[in-house]
Structure 1
Amino acid sequence: MPAAAKCPTCGHRILQTSVVRICSNCGAFLPDDGVITRPTDEERQIALPSARPQVVTRPPALTRKQSDQSDAVPYNEPGIIPYNELGVVPYEQDERQLAPLRHLPTPYDQQNALQTPLSAQEMAPVASPEWVDKKKLPRGFPRRPADISGTLIYVQSQLEKPANDILVMLIKGASDILWSSSTALTQQNKDKDQEMVTALRVHLEDGSNRDARIRGYLVSASLTIGDVISLWGTQRQGTLHVSRGYNHTSKSKISTRGSNVSFAILLTLAIFAVVVYLIAMNGGSHIPWLPF
């Protein structure tokens, strides 16, 4: 038998011995006469690397002292475990079918009830005779129907500069002449020359919305979104400037406290009226203690 042989099937060169007569590359049987025959099942299992026994090396067992210190279980001695006894189970695909996902609503789905806007009838408050029933209102309210009656859907309070009213500007100028002050005090008064304005938006019974404004600080009824209110006032540039109001939800009157600007205007008007009265009583003669 030659020292080396070449496999006629795959061309792999093999060092032949008296035991090995099978190609380690393709598993073909190599006879001495050069005729290639098919190996038996037993010879093929021996030649395949997967059928060879695998050696599993395990660390040595711990001593009793080391086991007590580490609370570890001692290992068994190393041994040889055949491949077919390792307990390897091939993966089997689960043939169960997953349940289909339920239909989720999308923002563009016309049949989605969540995206359907409410109609005007659903948003409109329930009609109540309490809005126009004059017996339910406190004394001092107008006998005519309210200019705005509905549900409050927006409320915001903020400080604003007063509107450029000619009468207000004249009275303010007269007050500056009567009380001349230093530059610092004048600047401080300009910073305080603001008034509190509460902007409202009311949803009416017919489904429309109306805007209203309340000047001054609210001192009685507090306004909350969802309250049913009635407002009286003057219409200016599409907005109702409220002079009186009533909150039907809390059964309270809507009243305000004037700001510093309103107090200064009232004080100036009072002083101006007193001066005119004194001049009229003296027959138009000059009053010595007046600055003019």
Structure 2
Amino acid sequence: MSFDLKVMKEPEQKYTYRQSTQISMQCGLVGYLRADMDTNGKGFFSSWNDYRTDLKTDEFKAEFDDLINTYRQKDNFLADRNTLSKFCYKEALQYDSDERSFGVRIDSDDYAYLCRLNPHQGEYNLYCYCYKKEWLDDHIRNAEKGIRFITPEYKEKFRIKDGDRIRITYSDGKTCDMVCRYIDEYHVEVGDNLYHICEFAERIEQNGAKVIPLRSDLPETCYATLPGTDEVIIIKRGESGYYTCEYSTDDKTFNRALVDDRNSNLGVSKAQVEAMLAGSMFGWDVPAADPKSYDENGKLLHNPKDRGDAR
């Protein structure tokens, strides 16, 4: 039996953790295996957790046994912890959300095995989530369209990537950040709750609340120059206005160079800076607060709304 091992793509990382019932059903999750390699790094103590027993066929069980046995052989990445560690740092994708975790995907004809790897002693070294390949890929492909947030009149306000967060500000000023997951074009998971997108919009309006996106492709913090004065300011994602910077001077050229240097050290692009500046001034739900609305030089695209992806 042949297997195709490849580096995990970033959108696939979300599927190596426990999902809601709705998403697990849609993606054809058979179950998952977790394992650790003991204190000496040479063991393999594992446990299996069923999800959809109707998909746990004899064919699947035989294939999964073959997969684990194949990659536990000498010099393969599950042979021992040392081999796993070398493999992770050379071959696998490091998670953005957890620098101790790495990911690979292994495909067969009918199944996709998403492996979250952790080469550290004292922790589970493997989580392997087993999906019906076609079902999983359909969900990932559809989720690329993004999650829509609308008004009760069905006017689109903004979209976010599957797995991004929103911030709800209630009438009393309290805020709550919630992770959102794509279900389909008309349904979304907000935290642990499933909503029709119109139902969610109506509830927000009825409660006098407001919703803004907290886009994962925007930094937590960046530096900018204030339009009109060119003083150095600090902007924080999701917050209105700005913070003054103690390093600002009366020299506009120096200020611009300082901003470029600080943002470069933070890994912040010019498109992200422009989006952060727009969000802090005009609201985080406007199209200009999305970095996809700019080119690499931070120039606003002519028609940023003419895209079908999450924006």
Say whether the fold is shared (TM-score over 0.5): no
TM-score by length of 2: 0.18
Relative to total residues, which structure has the larger helix share, 1 or 2? 2
Q: Give the structure with the higher percent strand.
A: 2
TM-score relative to the length of structure 1: 0.19
